[in-house]
């Protein structure tokens, strides 16, 4: 089947095809009685089994923190969010060995301990980046079971595969080890998360048998990050898709005034985040849409979006297309704040710099959103301290040319600073 024929197939239909709703015991929301409408999020069936998963999953990488600059989780707030999620049927929790400097899995184990083990799904990951020998694989896996306080993982992934880590994972026989754990009942479903080009994805899909796959997908990355092609490869292979970064590291929840105006005009009562999440959920082969929810209000908004989920209409797709056109005019850096680039060998605060710069680019407020804050950075933390070693770019899942972006940002900063100094000098001379 060539690409044109594939795009016409019933599996993809269109970029935003209608979705079949699946509740826990019903295949259509229309058939539900008033008694069944309990505020639970819509669920999707896993392949042709009786297993259903919530269309909204709880990503445990951006949990509330006691201090925004440190990894310690605000467990009091996070536990309440987990309880609320369970109440609403959001019972898929996605964590990983390195999240929150290793604390995320520990928190998940503690927070879910009071619930029956068959009432929720845990997804966690093994990162080949951290492995040196085959013995490390078993050490990491056993440590995860211990931290999560469980004797099996529902959805287990080889983490962040790309053209560099896939050969390493194969040489260490990571897949073979995990497959044996699946046969022993300690893993229920085996998959991988992915950060690379579609050609690499096709290679990974073709070389092993997978139960599911996790990719980055949102309305900006559908074309920019070639997520469309990734989605098509997995759909054609019959592999259900779990989506990460549907909000692109929250950037699609905090858009430019122009983008927000477009959304408000179309539907004033709906958040920008809801639009982005519905975009992803409207794709028929998406099994779970992960959202890293830092605040309780994020969770509540997402629950509203996915309760009795409604796919985007044709008019709503046109609205998003208009927003995409406006978004591409901002000049923001396509950073999702995953922090895989850190630590920088010389101390440059890469994600923070990109976050501030993007805040300025999407808001138009240079002084308050970037200039004034950036000026207070220590010299070693500024973009100008970059020595162009390229270590960060090699680790970036978005394939950003980080040194080039840092140079661009600091050049703009210096130009604005010099202009401000010149204007101030002119004013002081006039006043004198």
The answer to whether residue 5 scores a pLDDT higher than 70 is: no
159: Cβ contacts below 8 Å, ≥ 6 apart: 96, 97, 125, 126, 127, 128, 129, 192, 193
- Residue 14 phi/psi, 5-degree rounding, is -160, 175
| Confidence bin at 271 (pLDDT 50/70/90) | very high
- 57-74 pLDDT per residue, tens: 999 999 999 998 888 999
Task: Characterize 3-37 residue by residue with b for buried, 16 or more Cβ atoms within 10 angstroms of its Cβ, and e for exposed.
Answer: eeeeeeeebbeebbeebebbbeeeeebeeeeeeee
Average pLDDT rounded to a whole number, residues 366-377? 82
Mean pLDDT across 336-362: 87
For residue 290, the model assigns a pLDDT of: 98
Residue 273 has pLDDT above 90, yes or no: yes
Q: Is the pLDDT of residue 418 over 80?
A: no
pLDDT at 34 over 50: no
The answer to whether residue 144 scores a pLDDT higher than 70 is yes
Q: Is the pLDDT of residue 422 over 50?
A: no
Distance between CA 258 and CA 280 in Å, rounded? 22
pLDDT class for 304, splitting at 50, 70, 90? very high
Q: What is the pLDDT of residue 420?
A: 53
For 40, residues 6+ apart whose C-beta sits below 8 A from its C-beta are 23, 24, 88, 89, 307
HSE-CB for 25 with a 13 A CA cutoff? 6
**pLDDT confidence bin for 312, thresholds 50/70/90:** very high
pLDDT band at 376, cuts 50/70/90? confident
Which tokens go with 18? 């209608």
Average pLDDT in the 73-77 region?
Answer: 97
Which is higher by pLDDT, 241 or 419? 241
The C-alpha atoms of residue 103 and residue 419 are separated, in whole angstroms, by: 45
Q: What is the pLDDT of residues 220-237, one digit of tens each?
A: 989 878 999 999 999 999
Q: In this predicted structure, what is the pLDDT of residue 16? A: 37
Q: Note whether 366 and 416 are within 8 A (CB).
A: yes
pLDDT at 364: 65
Residue 37 has pLDDT above 60, yes or no: no
Three-state helix/strand/coil letters over 329-382? CCCCCCCCCCCCCCCCCCCCCHHHHHHHHHHHHHHCCHHHHHHHHHCCCCHHHC
Bridge partners, residue 331, by sequence: none
Q: Does the pLDDT value for residue 153 go beyond 70?
A: yes
Q: At a CB cut-off of 8 Å and minimum separation 6, what does 300 contact?
A: 84
Whether 80 shows a pLDDT value over 60: the answer reads yes
* Range among 15-24, 333-342, 413-422 rated most confident: 333-342
Q: Average pLDDT, stretch 403-414?
A: 90
pLDDT, residue 11, reads 37
The whole-angstrom separation of Cα 407 and Cα 383 is 7
Token pair of 301 as six digits: 């908004």
Which residues lie below 8 Å from residue 389, measured CB to CB, with a gap of 6+? 345, 346, 403
Is residue 14's pLDDT more than 60? no
84-93, 180-189, 361-370, 417-426: least confidently modelled range: 417-426
Q: Return d(Cα 405, Cα 35) in angstroms, integer.
A: 55
Interval 106-126: pLDDT, tens = 999 999 999 999 999 999 999
Q: Find the length of the chain.
A: 432
pTM for the full model?
0.77
pLDDT-wise least confident of 117-121, 206-210, 335-339: 335-339
Higher pLDDT, 25 or 51: 51
Tokens 């770019």 -> residue = 393
Question: What pLDDT was estimated at residue 276?
Answer: 98
Percent of the chain with pLDDT over 70: 87
Q: Which two tokens stand for residue 267?
A: 């539907």
Q: Which residue segments constitute the domains of the chain, with CATH numbers given? A: 3-327 (3.20.20.100), 350-431 (no CATH)
The confidence score (pLDDT) of residue 426 equals 52
* Whole-number percent of the chain with pLDDT over 90: 69
| Mean pLDDT of the chain, nearest integer | 87
Structure tokens at 51: 């297993």
């Amino acid at each position: 089947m060539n690409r044109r024929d594939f795009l016409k197939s019933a599996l993809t239909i269109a970029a935003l095809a209608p979705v079949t709703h699946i509740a826990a015991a019903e295949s259509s929301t229309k058939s539900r009685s008033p008694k069944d409408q309990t505020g639970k999020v819509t669920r999707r069936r896993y392949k042709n089994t009786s297993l259903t998963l919530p269309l909204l999953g709880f990503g445990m990488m951006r949990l509330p923190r006691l201090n925004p600059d440190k990894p310690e989780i605000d467990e009091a707030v996070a536990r309440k969010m987990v309880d609320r999620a369970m109440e609403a049927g959001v019972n898929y929790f996605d964590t990983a060995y390195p999240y929150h400097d290793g604390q995320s899995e520990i928190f998940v184990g503690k927070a879910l301990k009071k619930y029956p083990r068959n009432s929720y799904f845990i997804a966690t990951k093994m990162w080949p980046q951290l492995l040196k020998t085959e013995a490390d694989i078993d050490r990491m896996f056993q440590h995860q079971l211990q931290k999560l306080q469980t004797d099996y993982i529902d959805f287990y992934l080889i983490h962040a595969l790309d053209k560099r880590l896939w050969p390493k994972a194969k040489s260490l026989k990571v897949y073979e080890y995990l497959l044996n754990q699946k046969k022993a009942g300690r893993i229920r479903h085996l998959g991988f998360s992915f950060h690379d080009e579609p050609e690499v994805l096709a290679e990974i899909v073709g070389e092993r048998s997978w139960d599911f796959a996790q990719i980055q997908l949102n309305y900006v990355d559908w074309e920019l990050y070639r997520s469309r092609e990734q989605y098509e490869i997995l759909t054609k292979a019959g592999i259900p898709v779990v989506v990460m970064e549907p909000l692109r590291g929250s950037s699609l929840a905090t858009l430019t005034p122009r983008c927000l105006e477009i959304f408000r005009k179309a539907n004033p009562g709906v958040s920008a985040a809801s639009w982005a999440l519905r975009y992803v959920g409207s794709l028929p082969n998406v099994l779970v849409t992960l959202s890293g929810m830092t605040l309780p209000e994020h969770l509540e908004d997402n629950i509203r979006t996915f309760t009795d989920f409604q796919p985007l209409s044709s008019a709503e797709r046109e609205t998003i297309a208009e927003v995409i056109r406006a978004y591409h005019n901002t000049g923001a850096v396509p950073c999702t704040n995953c922090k895989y680039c850190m630590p920088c060998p010389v101390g440059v605060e890469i994600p923070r710099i990109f976050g501030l710069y993007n805040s300025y680019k999407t808001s138009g407020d240079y002084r308050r959103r970037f200039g004034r804050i950036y000026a207070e950075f220590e010299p070693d933390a500024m973009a100008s301290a970059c020595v162009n070693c390229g270590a960060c770019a090699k680790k970036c899942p978005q394939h950003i040319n980080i040194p080039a972006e840092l140079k661009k940002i600091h050049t703009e900063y210096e130009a604005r600073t010099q202009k401000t100094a010149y204007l101030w000098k002119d004013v002081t001379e006039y006043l004198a």
